[in-house]
Amino acid sequence: MYAALMTGMDDEGAFDAGRQSMLTAHVLTQGLSGLYVGGSSGESGLLEVDELAAQQEVVRRDAEGSGATLIAHVGAPSLAGSLQLARQAERLGYHGLSALPPHSYPFSDGEILAYYKALASSTALPLIVYEVPIRTGRPLPLELLVAILDLPGVAGIKFTSTDLFKLTLLRRARPDRTYFFGFDEIFLSGAALGADGGIGTTYNLLGRLYMALHGAIAAGDLPRAQELQAVSAEFVEALLEVGVLPGMKSAFTALGMDCGPTRAPLAARMPDTDVRMAELLKRPTIAPWLGAST
């Protein structure tokens, strides 16, 4: 279970190493398996390659000795940018890579396969590919995903799609790969169909909740798993009303950890976002899950 780590920004929206360290330190206290660094939850689509590279360095330094597994998301708009980030992550000692498929243009299936082939062969690190139609604007065909999973160096997939039948078919076609599920609010559904773990945005705040959910699933305790998943769904429902990343940053501020604004043009959808998120964190269903693991 991995937090899709958010990014600390200064008040003007530039990458802030100090705020990143504060944010990373908090997430590391929650008992998660590790961190997924530089992904969509970290506003990677709005950051430059050099900023993502700087974030990699800061997080790697701050996670030293924590025992956390670090996965670097390296999906940049160009293959050259992705390779730069991948090779640096390997030099820094990251444990794995991940990447969105290229989506700046309507790339062909062959171009997407070639991208992943080049990326997977660029380092010795295992690569987690990424199916996320909500971000790319198109679901990748099952046949293409299987072909990508067959590439040397590809270890698995982060599956952030509600097409659970496709997840079932992938698991049947390539049962030896690792499957991460990316929709926090329905993680139980993905796990029931064989997802090995999860990677999500709300894990930054509610990591303890997701570890408990994972434990309940492993123990076969369906009522407890349903109860915990309902807490996640309640939180995400409120978050969607204000905007996921602005709402998450507002929630951190309410907890006394100002990790800065989201980068423009990303902005909160509601003028009272700070009030809404502060009240959400006080709910008796949510409040017990905030803070460090014990």
Q: Which of the residues are catalytic?
A: 130, 158
Locate the DSSP E strands across 33-176. 34-37, 69-73, 96-99, 127-131, 154-159
Backbone angles phi, psi at 18, to 5 degrees: -65, -45
Backbone angles phi, psi at 181, to 5 degrees: -105, 140
Distance CA 207, CA 160 (A): 18
Sign (positive or negative) of CA dihedral 201, 275, 9, 49: positive
Residue 173 to residues 143, 145, 164, 177, 192, Cα–Cα distance (Å): 10, 10, 14, 10, 17
Locate 249 and state its tokens. 């940053």
Which has the closest alpha carbon to 237: 272, 275, 202, 288?
A: 202
Locate 11 and state its tokens. 């008040």
Sign (positive or negative) of CA dihedral 203, 196, 214, 70: negative
Residue 183 to residues 11, 43, 92, 229, Cα–Cα distance (Å): 29, 17, 29, 11
232, 187 Cβ separation under 8 angstroms: yes
Distance CA 125, CA 150 (A): 15
Distance CA 119, CA 111 (A): 12
Strand, coil or helix: 86: helix
What letter represents residue 140's amino acid? L
